[in-house]
Amino acid sequence: MDWSEKNWLEEDKLFFPKRKVNNRDSKNISHVIGHLYSYKMKRTVGWESFWGEYLFYQYLELDFDTIRYYEQPVEVPVVNLKKENELNVWAHVPDVLVFRQGHKPLLYQIKGGNSEPESELDSLINFKCREFVKEREWIYHIIRPKELPEVIKSNILLLRHFQRPRTYYTSWEKELVQKISYLSGVSILELANSFSGKTDYRLILPLVYHLITRGVLKTNINVDINEKSIVQLGNIGEALTEFIGGVDGNAGQIRN
């Protein structure tokens, strides 16, 4: 599906957060609630787990094909029996609805690490979510970002610091892209140093990292990203998807 020309006005109204993030567990768990600024959504997005929602949302910010995403977007009707054999009717709110270019909408339930056997209640919730997406021709996935390899998590968290555009970037971006188009095997530091005759190389360093977050440049995400990392034209989204899982195909390492 082509999402590139949508204005998203209808989706913004439909998929507003159906519940507020809460910190009911914050007495026992640190960093359990917060908000991040989404450059894709151009607003703040709430999260309840650093290694769950926060990490996954940062992945979505780096994923070149993710056009838009909505946290706590829908209410899925669930009916089960109480102990007294009374009907219990309630609504489950999945974590995030993602629109990726070329794909059907994806509804995600974000879980922690250390996969455990599915409880009877979880089984019911997942069944109802799958019914819900089937009616809408969406896709439903359960995902565990905490199970990403440590180096991938570290790189995602590093790159989050370079997402914000700075006003002076536009003065150097075009020349940087032209340079790297004919340079091969160049490191981040070497690329920045190539501007030393014109400006302080330390101004170019964050621009290189920023262009990685924008999907203009790519580097090897399977090792720690630093000034010695080799960069070239391209984006890291495809490499990240190997871990998250093909949206319509293979499950990847942290998704089912």
46-95 confidence digits (pLDDT tens): 999 999 999 999 999 999 899 999 999 999 999 987 777 778 899 999 99
Confirm if 129 and 73 have CB atoms less than 8 A apart: no
Q: Which two tokens stand for residue 193?
A: 């140093």
At 24 the pLDDT is 57
At 255 the pLDDT is 54
Report the C-alpha gap between 79 and 85 in whole angstroms.
Answer: 12
Left (φ > 0), alpha (ψ -120 to 50) or beta: where does 137 sit?
left
At 33 the pLDDT is 83
List every span in the chain annotated with CATH 3.40.1350.10. 9-147
CATH of domain 153-242: 1.10.10.10
SS3 224: coil
Below-50 pLDDT ranges, the chain:
26-27, 246-252
Closest CA to 105 of 81, 79, 132, 127: 132
List every span in the chain annotated with CATH 1.10.10.10. 153-242
At 249 the pLDDT is 41
Q: Which two tokens stand for residue 72?
A: 């706590």
CA angle 187, 171, 215 (to 5 degrees): 50
Confirm if 33 and 22 have CB atoms less than 8 A apart: yes
Would you tell me the crossing angle of helices 150-159 and 201-213 to the nearest 10 degrees?
120
Give the architecture (CATH level 2) of 9-147.
3-Layer(aba) Sandwich (3.40)
Give, rounded to a whole angstrom, the gap between the first and last alpha carbons of the chain: 22
Confirm if 223 and 244 have CB atoms less than 8 A apart: no
DSSP conformational letter for 160: G
At 7 the pLDDT is 93
